[in-house]
Amino acid sequence: MSAEHAFHPPVVTTPDGRPLDVIELRGLTVDCIVGIFNRERIAAQPLRLDVALFLDTRAAAVGGRLAHTVNYGRLAGELRFLLEACRFELLESAVETVCRYVLAPPTDDVPRAQVHAATVRVTKPLALGGLAVPSLQIHRTAAEMVYGREEKGFGRVDIIHEGAGYGVYRLRVKPGGCIPTHVHQQMEESELVLGSGLLLQFKPVARGMAFHWPRGFLHRYDNPSSTEQTVLCVDRPGFIPSDEVETEPPPEGLLPVTGHSYYPLDEPAAPGSPAEHQP
């Protein structure tokens, strides 16, 4: 990275003055729809993302467990999914969404350390045809974040962020719960499965798999596990309650689906070792 484009997060300290540890994810480049002009709404362009996460990693250093830190490989996939699915109009929306997502409290099916603050920068390298490189950097803390919450029959929904033309949600399916067979006629929906215990269309689905639901496509989730399971959901436009139309599965069954994995294709060196102690 050239000096003029260097990423410089601030120093963040605890209340007693000790600097927090920092995990950085630099130079994540995603081809996505971002911008307000007609050409930007039609053709994808590269967006470069730099993220600094401020947290305490001492428990991970001692215990050697990913659940006590942040799995940056999976996080990179989740952020790539958000940038691709939301189709932001403004850089301001993109950075705010990323900040709100990484600062959200962890869930039981995806244990990780709580991130106390985050610095996020997004850059549009090609926006001005090489004459200049526009970017936006913001800094937010977990303490200032307020997330909406809705109780549902299947569990609950965390409202991560709602902006112009999109909404980002965490669907948290309780043990034994299900998101019944349903269809949308107005919203387009993209979903990334975060937990490892869900059934989709009555078939097991791996964590890190993403699916796009076009209008009119029947789909459902079931959670037969003993742990709450989470799905990261992007609706375009933001969620419309009247457009969540439940229906019975057709007699011939639900159509099978093929998703796309956003997680690294890696395996622990020693299965069952403490470093990979995540459900």
Assigned token pair, 26: 């630099």
Task: Exactly one of 124, 152, 174, 203 is catalytic; name it.
Answer: 124
| Domain edges within the chain | 21-144, 148-255
Q: Please state, in angstroms and rounded to a whole number, the distance separating the CA atoms of residues 56 and 263.
A: 24
Q: Please state, in angstroms and rounded to a whole number, the distance separating the CA atoms of residues 233 and 239.
A: 10
pLDDT at 268: 52
Residues in contact with 73: Cβ distance below 8 Å, sequence separation at least 6, in sequence order? 263, 264, 266
pLDDT at 205: 96
pLDDT at 274: 47
Assigned token pair, 227: 């742990």
Q: Please state, in angstroms and rounded to a whole number, the distance separating the CA atoms of residues 238 and 180.
A: 20
pLDDT tens readout for residues 122-148: 999 888 877 898 999 999 999 999 999
Q: Please state, in angstroms and rounded to a whole number, the distance separating the CA atoms of residues 66 and 278.
A: 7
pLDDT at 253: 92
pTM for this predicted structure: 0.92
Judge whether 124 counts as a catalytic residue: yes
pLDDT at 221: 98
What is residue 252's DSSP assignment? T
User: Where do we find the tokens 């993220």?
Assistant: 51
Q: What share of the chain is helix, strand, coil (3-state, %, to 5)?
A: 20, 35, 45
pLDDT at 4: 54
Q: Please state, in angstroms and rounded to a whole number, the distance separating the CA atoms of residues 65 and 59.
A: 8
User: Is residue 122 a contact partner of residue 130, using CB atoms and an 8 Å limit?
Assistant: no
pLDDT at 128: 81
All residue ranges of the chain with pLDDT < 70 are: 1-4, 266-279
29-61 per-residue burial string, b: 16 or more CB within 10 A, e: under 16: ebebbbbeeeebeeeebebbbbbbbbbbbeebe
